[in-house]
Amino acid sequence: MRPRPVSIENPEQAKFVSLVPDGDIEEILSEQRTKTITLLSSVSEETASKAYAPGKWTLKEVIGHMTDSERVMSYRMLAIARNESEQLPAMDQNQYVAAANFNKLSWEQLLAGLDTVRSNTLSLISTIDDAAWVRQGTVMNSPVSLAIIAYGIAGHELHHRKVITDKYL
């Protein structure tokens, strides 16, 4: 079992990691994949195209954001696992969502993308050995470990799933 991160300097990272229950992170990520896709598979195209309030993202944009965020975080895991010494890029979530035009994509396409990205994340994690698991890199001038990123991916999804359940569904 991969150790849970203990010391987290960045408050945003700590917020997401704290949402994740104890347990094997690969099992948690795998179970989330099933729960989230199951929850969202019955949502209609019409519902997915709506925001819960003016100025908020549509549900399609939320799912696109979750997918893009996991892509970026998985890249960061890959880079750190492979001993990247350069600072890793930031991600402006609003810029990414605005540039993506998620609302032009079908709901089915967005869910397939989310599912595929999680499959790829799990595949990547399965290739990372224990020595690499504790490596650190730098993102936005803050140190970050593979464990923080992996648990952050899980916590980010839990955060958005709660928002989706509470405000969209």
**CATH code, 145:** 1.20.120.450
Residue 13 belongs to some domain of the structure: no
Q: Is 137 within a domain?
A: yes
Do the beta carbons of residue 18 and residue 9 sit within 8 Å? no
Q: Is residue 7 part of a domain?
A: no
Domain count, the chain: 1
Tens of pLDDT along 49-107? 999 999 999 999 999 999 999 999 999 999 999 999 999 989 999 999 999 999 999 99
Structure tokens at 67: 């997918």
8 within domain boundaries:
no
Residue span of the structural domain in which 132 resides:
28-50+57-168
Cβ-in-10-Å burial (0-12, 13-18, 19+) of 29 comes to buried
Q: Is residue 9 part of a domain?
A: no
Residue 131 lies in a domain: yes
pLDDT at 9 over 80: no
> Would 66 be classed as within a structural domain?
yes
Helices (H), 19-126: 25-41, 45-48, 59-81, 93-100, 107-126
Q: What is the pTM of this model?
A: 0.95
Distance, in Å, from the CA atom of 27 to the CA atom of 156, rounded to the nearest integer, reads: 16
pLDDT band at residue 13 under the 50/70/90 scheme: confident
- Residue indicated by tokens 């997401």: 16
- Whether 23 is in a domain gets the answer no
Question: What pLDDT is attached to residue 2?
Answer: 84
Say how far apart CA 160 and CA 139 lie, in whole Å.
Answer: 22
